[in-house]
Structure 1
Amino acid sequence: MPSPDNTARPSYAAVLRVPHARRTFAAALVGRLAYGLVSLSVLLASVRATGSYAVAGTVMALFGATTVMLLPTRASLVDRHGPRRALPPMAALHAVLLCALAAVTWRPGASPVVLGALAALAGACAPPLGPVMRAVWAESMPDRGLVQRAYSLDGVAEELLYVSGPVLVGVLVRFAPPGAGVLVSAALIAAGTLAFVTSPALRGLRTAPSARADRKAGLDRALRGPVVVAGGAGLALSAVDLFVAAFAERHGYGSEVVAWTLAALSAGSAVGGLLNGAVDWRAPARVRLPRLAAGLAGALACAGLAPGIVPLAVAVACAGVFVAPLLTTAYLIADETAAPGARTRAGAWVNTAVNAGSALGAATAGLLVGGVPLGVCFVLTGAVPGLAACAAAVGGASARGRGRAAERHGGAGLRT
C-alpha cells in the first residue's frame, strides 16, 4: 500500500534533475528507437526481396533468436569491461550488418541463406542499451524511491518507442523501399550508442570484479521469481495480440479496430507505469510482483467474457495497467539481486524472459485459436501469469526467509 508520508516523495522531475540524466536518457532513447523500427523493417524488406512470407518469417526468427538468447552474454560483456569499451564495437558491427542487410534486400532476388546469415549475425551483436540504461539509473540515483520512478519512466518511454516505431516505418515505406527502414535503424543505433557512451553518467558504472560475481547475476535463485513472471507476462501479451485479431475477424470488425484495441493495451500500460512510479509503495517489490501478476491474470480472464469489441478494449486496457508496473517491479528485484558490478546482466535476464515468453506465446496462441473457444483462450492465457504469480509468491517468501537467516548470522541480505 502507499506510504502516507508524501511530503518528501521524489517526482519524475527529480529523476531528470539528477546530473546528466536528461542527456543520457535521450541518447539511450535514440538508440533504442532503432529496435522499434528494425523488426518490421527487416520483415518488409525480406518479403520484398524474396517474395516469400515463409522466408521472411525464418529471417525474423533467426534475428529474434540471436537478439534474445544472446542478450545475457552481451550484457555480461558490458558488466565485465564497462559500457564505454563494450558497447561501441557491438553497435558498430550491428549497424554495419544492418546496412549489409539493407543493401541485399534493396532489390528483389536476394538469397535466403545470405539474408538469414546477416540477420542472425546482426541480432547476435545488438547492443543492450535498455539493460545498461537501467543499470545507469540504479547507479546514479541517490535513493531507491528515485530508482523506482526512473524505471517507471524508462518503461513508459520504451512502450511509446515500440508503439511509434512501426508507425514511422509505415510512413517511411510510402516514399522508399523497406530497406530504408533498416538503414534508419542502423543510423539510430550508431548515433544513439555513441552519444550514450560519451555521457559522463557512465563513468560511475561499476564493472564486475570477477567471473564468479558475473555468473551470480544469472544463477542467483532470488532472480528466478522476476524472470518467471516476466516470461509469463510476455507470453500472455503476445497471445493477446492474436486473440484480439481473431475476435475482430469473427465479429465482423475491420483491421483498424484491432489496432485501436491493441493501442488501448499500450495506453493502459503507459498509465499504469506512470501511476506506479508516482506512488511511494510501502510493500517491498517482492510482495508487489505476484500481486501485479495476479491482477494481469484476472484482467485477461475478464477479457474472455467480453461480448463485444468495446468491452474487450476496456478489459484489455485494464490488463495493460498491470503490464508496465509488473515489468518495472521485476527490474527492481533484478537490480536488488544483482552482485556488485553485474546489474546489466541481471536486468538482461528479465528482458530475455519477456522476449522468449513473447515468442512462445505467439506459437501457442496460433495452436489454441484454431480449436479452442476464444473466451477459453483468454482465460488459459491469463492462467500463465497467474501461475507465475504463485511461483513468485513462494520464491519471495523463501528469499525473505533466507534474508532473515542471513541477518541473524550477521550476513547481508538483499539490498533495498
Structure 2
Amino acid sequence: MSYVRLLRTQGAAGFFITTVLGRLGIAMYGLSIILTAATTYGDYVRAGLVGGAFAGAEAVGGPIFGRFADRHGQRRTLAPAAALHLVAVSGLAFALLAGAPVALAVATAAVGGASVPQLGALAAARWSHLLRGDPRLETALSLEAVANDVAFIAGPLAVAAVVSLLGPAHAAAIACLLVVVAALVLAVQDLDVGARAPGPRVGRELIGPGLANLLLGLLFGTAQLAVTALARERGAEGLAGLYYLTMSLGSLAASAVYGLIRWRGPVWYRVVGAVFLVSAGAVAVLTVGGFAALFVLGLGVGPLIVVTGTLVERRAGPGRLTQAFALMSALSAAGIALAGPVGGAAVQAWLA
C-alpha cells in the first residue's frame, strides 16, 4: 500500500506516530476543559469562558509558535513550548480544582492554549522537508488529514471514557501528558526542520487557502449546530453525535482514498471537485437530511483539506511552512468561532 511505503521513508514513521498521539491529546482538550470547569463553577457560561479562552489563545498563539519553529528550528522550539504548556495546564487544573475565581482560570487557560505545540503543522513541515518535489507529498498530506480525522473522532470518545471512570480533570491531565510527551519525543528525534532559511511572514499568496480554511471552520461549526437542530426536529437528540460522526467518517474515507490516487493536472481542478461535493452535500443536508447527505458532505471536506494543504506547501516554501500550516489551523478555528452567531442565525432561519 502507498501509505505503508510512505511511512518507510527515513524518519517518517517516528514523527508521524508521535504527532498522532499528541494530536489525540489536543482533540481531548476542548471537552475535558469545559467539563472540568462546569463541574467547578456549576454553569456552562463560565465553563464556556474558560474553554473559549483556551481555544482562542491557541488560534492566536499557533502561528507565532510556527514562526519561532521556522526561525529557530523545531528542536529548539519544542522543549520550551512543552515546558510552558505543562506549567500553564497544571496551573489551570489547580485553579479549577481549587474553585479559583473564573478570571484566574481564564488567564491560565489562555496561556495553556497559546503554548500548545502545533503538532499537525510540525508534521506537515517535516513531510515537506522529506518529500519536497516528490509527488508522494500529496499522499503524505492525505495521511495527515486521516490522522486529524481519527484524532478528533477518538478524542471526545476518549474523554467520555475517562470521565466515566475517573472524572473530567483526569481527562484533561491525560490530554496534557499526551501533548507534552509527544512534543519532547519529537524534539529529540533525528529529523529537525527550520533554522535554515527563515522567510518573511506569510502574506497575500495564501489568501486563497486561508479563505478556504476559514470557510471550512465555518462549515464545521455550522454543521454541529445543524445536526443538533436536525436531531431535535426528529425528536431524537441522541442522534446528533451520530450525525456528526457520519460526516467525519465521510471525510476520513475520502482523505484515505484521495491519497492513494496519483493525480494529474492542476490542483485547482481538484479544489473545484471538492467544493462541488461539499456544496452537493450541504444542499442535501438542508433539503433531505439524514446520514447519507452528511456522508456526502464529508466526502468533499476531506479532499478539500488535502488540496488546500497542497497549495499552502507549494506557495509558502521553505522557511515559512510551519507558520503557514499553523495559520491555516488558526483560520479554521476562527471559522468555528464565527459559526456561533453566523451559523446559528442560518440554522434558525432554516428551521423557520
Matches of residues 284-299 of structure 1 in structure 2 within 5 Å?
284-299=266-281
Offset, 1:269: 0.4
Distance 2:187 2:211 in 1: 31
The percent of aligned pairs where both chains have the same amino acid is 27
Q: Structure 2 counterpart of 1:53, which letter?
A: Y
Distance 2:37 2:56 in 1: 17
2:229 is the alignment partner of 1:252? no
2:211 is the alignment partner of 1:228? yes
Structure 1 equivalent of residue 313 of structure 2: 335
Distance 1:66 1:297 in 2: 31
Offset, 1:47: 0.6
Structure 2 equivalent of residue 402 of structure 1: none
Contact in 2 for aligned 1:214/1:339 (Cα 8 Å):
no
Contact in 1 for aligned 2:277/2:296 (Cα 8 Å):
no
Structure 2 equivalent of residue 62 of structure 1: 53
| Helix, strand or coil at the partner of 2:63 | helix
Structure 1 equivalent of residue 110 of structure 2: 120
Offset, 1:368: 2.9
User: Alpha-carbon deviations, 1:277-310, whole Å to 9, x = none?
Assistant: 111111222332233123212210121111xxxx
User: Alpha-carbon deviations, 1:48-72, whole Å to 9, x = none?
Assistant: 1111211011111111111012211
Structure 2 equivalent of residue 146 of structure 1: 136
Q: Report the number of matched residues.
A: 352
Offset, 1:206: 3.5
2:291 is the alignment partner of 1:313? yes
Q: Structure 2 counterpart of 1:185, which letter?
A: A
Out of 10, 18, 30, the residue aligned to residue 39 of structure 1 is 30
Out of 69, 72, 88, the residue aligned to residue 63 of structure 2 is 72
Contact in 2 for aligned 1:80/1:207 (Cα 8 Å):
yes
**TM-score, structure 1 normalization:** 0.81
Distance 2:37 2:208 in 1: 38
Q: Structure 2 counterpart of 1:231, which letter?
A: L
2:145 is the alignment partner of 1:131? no
Out of 302, 307, 310, the residue aligned to residue 284 of structure 2 is 302
Structure 2 equivalent of residue 214 of structure 1: 200
Distance 1:168 1:84 in 2: 29
Offset, 1:224: 0.8
Structure 1 equivalent of residue 350 of structure 2: 373
| Helix, strand or coil at the partner of 1:187 | helix
CA, structure 1 residues 46+245, in 2 after alignment: closer, same or farther (shift >3 Å)?
A: same
Offset, 1:110: 2.7
| Helix, strand or coil at the partner of 1:261 | helix
Distance 2:71 2:133 in 1: 25
Contact in 2 for aligned 1:140/1:201 (Cα 8 Å):
no
Contact in 2 for aligned 1:50/1:110 (Cα 8 Å):
no
Structure 2 equivalent of residue 355 of structure 1: 333
Q: Which runs of 5+ in 2 are unaligned?
A: none
Q: Structure 2 counterpart of 1:373, which letter?
A: W
CA, structure 1 residues 135+290, in 2 after alignment: closer, same or farther (shift >3 Å)?
A: same
Q: Which runs of 5+ in 1 are unaligned?
A: 1-9, 377-416
Q: Structure 2 counterpart of 1:46, which letter?
A: A
Matches of residues 189-208 of structure 1 in structure 2 within 5 Å?
189-202=179-192, 205-207=193-195
Structure 2 equivalent of residue 270 of structure 1: 252
Distance 1:359 1:16 in 2: 35
Structure 2 equivalent of residue 158 of structure 1: 148
Higher CA-based Rg: 1
Deviates more, 1:347-356 or 1:111-120: 347-356
| Helix, strand or coil at the partner of 1:173 | helix
| Helix, strand or coil at the partner of 1:174 | helix
